[in-house]
């Protein structure tokens, strides 16, 4: 069993076409070629923490993958990042462990950002005027970074509750080639942007729809991955012309779609799967004035694809 550390992972990442790998994963998933059991979850109380176990395989593939990712939100008090974890690859024909990628949750962050870029590629209006980002954390940065190859837009409006964090974000992301405006009023994001990414761990909505918004918008919600979290208000979900789940079965239980279904705001048959859009089996955006929502709860198939790609790159089998 190969033990691969974070430096080794970071070293090979630039060699990998992550968009292609993860698109292929969503495509296989929506074609029914992936086996992805329900997410395993461990909740800790003192201090509060949550652990997700996401696992599965693509039929006929070389490996199955088990990903463990944790969030302990009081870790920063101890000088530790809140996220941690690892990914394990096993031989699909024998169960023999092949590799442990000690990624410290880094690959979970990356594959989440890549999924956001894929959602934007398929669902954003043809011309993005300004990108709106809600949140100022790791995903707020990575989403922007991975959107760069997908859109030529370099205008950003970032929303947060803490001006100091907004300022740091503005400074850091400006250095990567974006023109960043900060705001503490979410209306500024809705009014000025037509590609919005929500990246918060909110349990009450941070994006509230405004009835006088008439332009088309695509919204990718990446923050909500549990039963309780919610970033988009029901008016937004109700307004959406197209609602796309990374995994319909998972979004029935977690995330924005789960919340909206549970409250009768949307119907089950309104939901499309991202892989089906990629495969051309379901329509994505059909006009620039539509409002589309992608609810990304994080599917094991993303972990499987990034783990395999990293491992193959490291062992020179790419």
Q: Which of 18, 34, 88, 144 binds a second copy (CB under 8 A)?
A: 88
Written as one string, the DSSP assignment of 103-130 is -TTHHHHHHHHHHHHHHHHHHS-SS---
Q: Given the complex with a second copy, which of 19 and 102 has the nearer CB atom?
A: 102
Q: Nearest approach, Cβ of 138 to a second copy (angstroms)?
A: 15
Rg value, the chain, Cα: 19
66 binds a second copy (CB under 8 A): yes
318 binds a second copy (CB under 8 A): no
Peptide bond into 74 cis (omega under 30): no
Q: Which of 7, 14, 32, 93 binds a second copy (CB under 8 A)?
A: 93
72 binds a second copy (CB under 8 A): yes
Q: Which of 14, 32, 95, 177 binds a second copy (CB under 8 A)?
A: 95
Query: Strands, E, within the chain: which ranges?
Result: 2-4, 34-35, 40-45, 48-58, 63-71, 83-91, 97-101, 131-134, 155-159, 179-183, 195-198, 217-221, 242-245, 271-273, 291-295
How far is Cα 148 from Cα 175, in angstroms, rounded to an integer? 13
Q: Nearest approach, Cβ of 102 to a second copy (angstroms)?
A: 6
Q: Nearest approach, Cβ of 83 to a second copy (angstroms)?
A: 8
Restricting to residues 33-62, which ones interact with a second copy according to CB under 8 A? Answer: 35, 37, 40-47, 49, 51, 53, 55-57, 59-60
How far is Cα 87 from Cα 68, in angstroms, rounded to an integer? 6
Total length of the chain: 318
Q: Nearest approach, Cβ of 84 to a second copy (angstroms)?
A: 4
Regarding beta strands 195-198 and 179-183, do their DSSP bridges make them parallel or antiparallel, or are they unpaired?
A: unpaired
Interface positions with a second copy (CB under 8 A): 1, 3, 35, 37, 40-47, 49, 51, 53, 55-57, 59-60, 64, 66, 68, 70-72, 75, 78, 80, 83-86, 88, 90, 92-97, 100, 102
């Amino acid at each position: 069993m190969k033990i691969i550390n974070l430096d080794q992972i970071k070293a090979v990442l630039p060699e990998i076409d992550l968009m292609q790998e993860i698109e292929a994963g969503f495509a296989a998933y929506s074609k029914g070629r992936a086996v992805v059991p329900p997410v395993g979850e461990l909740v800790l109380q003192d201090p509060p923490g949550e652990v997700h176990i996401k696992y599965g395989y693509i039929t006929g593939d070389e490996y199955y993958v088990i990903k463990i990712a944790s969030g302990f939100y009081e870790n920063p008090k101890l000088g530790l990042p809140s996220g941690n974890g690892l990914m394990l690859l096993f031989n699909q024909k024998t169960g023999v462990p092949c590799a442990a990628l000690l990624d410290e949750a880094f690959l979970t962050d990356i594959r989440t950002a890549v999924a956001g870029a894929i959602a934007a590629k398929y669902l954003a209006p043809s011309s993005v005027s300004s990108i709106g980002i809600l949140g100022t954390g790791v995903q707020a940065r990575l989403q922007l970074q991975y959107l760069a190859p997908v859109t030529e837009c370099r205008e950003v409006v970032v929303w947060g509750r803490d001006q100091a964090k907004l300022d740091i974000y503005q400074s850091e992301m400006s250095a990567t080639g974006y023109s960043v405006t900060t705001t503490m009023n979410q209306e500024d994001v809705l009014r000025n942007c037509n590609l919005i990414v929500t990246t918060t761990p909110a349990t009450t909505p941070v994006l509230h729809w405004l009835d006088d918004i008439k332009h088309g918008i695509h919204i990718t919600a990446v923050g909500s991955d549990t039963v309780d979290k919610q970033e988009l208000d029901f008016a937004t979900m109700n307004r959406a012309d197209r609602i796309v789940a990374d995994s319909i079965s998972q979004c029935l239980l977690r995330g924005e779609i789960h919340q909206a279904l549970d409250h009768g705001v949307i119907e089950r048959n309104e939901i499309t799967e991202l892989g089906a859009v990629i495969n051309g089996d379901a329509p994505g955006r059909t006009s620039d004035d539509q409002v589309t929502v992608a609810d990304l709860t994080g599917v094991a198939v993303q972990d499987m694809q990034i783990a395999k790609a990293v491992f193959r790159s490291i062992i020179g089998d790419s």
